[in-house]
């Protein structure tokens, strides 16, 4: 009997842990639908401080916690927590760190301003997911990313981790949403991203870390793209149209579970997906 195909879901939002949103609802129901269609799943999200740990019964996974990730020349402890969504019979893993995720807000502070370290939070989250999956020893066939905080993941998987046996055959799917933030992330983001084998040239695109540029990077390094909102900005739509890779157009609530499942099947069957 052949092994079940494995799909890793990485989402910046999952209902019911954050207030209901389009990304959050997909983050909740797509993994369940994928599991019910016969695939093995894992789901990851950040452990934002506004998530009530007691109500949602989060608990630390000691065997997965304990490593440090260096971001901007500083060690940051990686804490892994987990909770169960009982009706779906699925677990959600949470990437946690006291400095980045203990504040009681999501992406903006009490004053409504975008957090100045959201760039570091995104770097820590994406690297934390990869390192935790490595610790689990769980090789995903598909990695599906949702929300701009996951935009670095296709880049990391196809550069730093491209020869890692766990990820060398993984197909990365990036869902593009209308989730733009204003302005740009920290101007030093390119320096903070650089680690391991990455060069100045590799990270140069992150010097101007606008939402548009992060989206371009994610699309460039992904193996396939899904249009997650019915309407996207003309500039984003043009980047997607110009991408030489499989694209799944927007699907409504009635059809997206089957459409996404079929899309995964097509991607996994297409050995020539990697254009560059």
Please report, for the chain, the start and end positions of each structural domain, with discontinuous segments joined by +: 6-45+125-269
Mean pLDDT of 200-225: 94
pLDDT tens by residue, 82-141: 999 988 899 999 999 999 999 998 999 899 899 999 999 999 999 999 999 999 999 999
| Residue 2's pLDDT band (cuts 50, 70, 90) | low
Distances (CA, A) of 120 to 78, 145, 165, 214, 267: 13, 18, 27, 14, 31
Q: What CA–CA distance (Å, rounded) separates 191 from 169?
A: 28
250's torsion region: left (phi>0), alpha (psi -120 to 50) or beta? beta
Instruction: Determine the pLDDT at residue 145.
Output: 98
CATH superfamily of 6-45+125-269: Glycogen Phosphorylase B; (3.40.50.2000)
Q: Which residue in 38, 130, 147 sits closest to 93, CA to CA?
A: 130
Mean pLDDT of 2-16: 93
Rg (CA), the chain: 17
Q: Looking at the predicted structure, is the pLDDT value of residue 275 above 50?
A: no
**41-45, 82-86, 126-130, 269-273 — which is least confidently predicted?**
269-273
| Residue 273's pLDDT band (cuts 50, 70, 90) | very low
| Residue 276's pLDDT band (cuts 50, 70, 90) | very low
Mean pLDDT of 155-173: 96
Q: Tally helices (H) and strands (E) across the chain.
A: 10, 11
| Residue 1's pLDDT band (cuts 50, 70, 90) | very low
Q: What is the mean pLDDT of the chain?
A: 93
What angle do the packed helices 234-241 and 211-221 form, to 10 degrees?
Answer: 20
What angle do the packed helices 22-36 and 256-269 form, to 10 degrees?
Answer: 70
Q: Looking at the predicted structure, is the pLDDT value of residue 173 above 90?
A: yes
Instruction: Determine the pLDDT at residue 193.
Output: 92
Instruction: Determine the pLDDT at residue 272.
Output: 46
CA angle 258, 271, 150 (to 5 degrees): 60
pLDDT tens by residue, 235-257: 999 999 999 999 999 998 888 99
Task: Check if the beta carbon of residue 247 is closer than 8 Å to that of residue 219.
Answer: no
Instruction: Determine the pLDDT at residue 271.
Output: 62
Instruction: Determine the pLDDT at residue 270.
Output: 82
Q: Looking at the predicted structure, is the pLDDT value of residue 211 above 70?
A: yes
């Amino acid at each position: 009997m052949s092994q079940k195909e494995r799909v890793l879901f990485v989402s910046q939002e999952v209902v019911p842990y954050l207030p209901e949103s389009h990304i959050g609802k997909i983050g909740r129901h797509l993994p369940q639908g994928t599991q019910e269609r016969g695939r093995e799943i894992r789901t990851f999200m950040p452990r934002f401080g506004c998530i009530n740990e007691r109500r949602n019964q989060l608990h630390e996974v000691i065997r997965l916690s304990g490593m440090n990730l260096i971001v901007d020349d500083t060690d940051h402890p990686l804490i892994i927590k987990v909770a169960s969504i009982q009706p779906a019979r699925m677990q959600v893993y949470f990437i946690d760190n006291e400095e980045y995720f203990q504040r009681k807000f999501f992406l903006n502070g009490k004053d409504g301003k975008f957090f100045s370290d959201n760039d570091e939070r995104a770097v820590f989250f994406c690297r934390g997911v990869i390192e935790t999956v490595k610790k689990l020893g769980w090789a995903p066939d598909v990695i599906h990313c949702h929300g701009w905080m996951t935009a670095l993941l296709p880049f990391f998987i196809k550069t730093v981790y491209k020869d890692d046996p766990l990820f060398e055959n993984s197909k990365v799917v990036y869902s593009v949403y209308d989730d733009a933030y204003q302005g740009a992330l920290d101007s030093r983001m390119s320096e903070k991203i650089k680690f391991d084998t990455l060069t100045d040239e590799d990270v140069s695109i992150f010097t101007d870390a606008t939402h548009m540029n992060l989206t371009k990077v994610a699309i460039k390094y992904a193996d396939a793209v899904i249009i997650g909102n019915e309407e996207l900005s003309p500039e984003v739509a043009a980047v997607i149209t110009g991408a030489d890779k499989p694209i799944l157009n927007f699907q409504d609530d009635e059809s997206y579970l089957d459409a996404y499942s079929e899309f995964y099947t097509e991607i996994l069957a297409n050995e020539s997906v990697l254009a560059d």
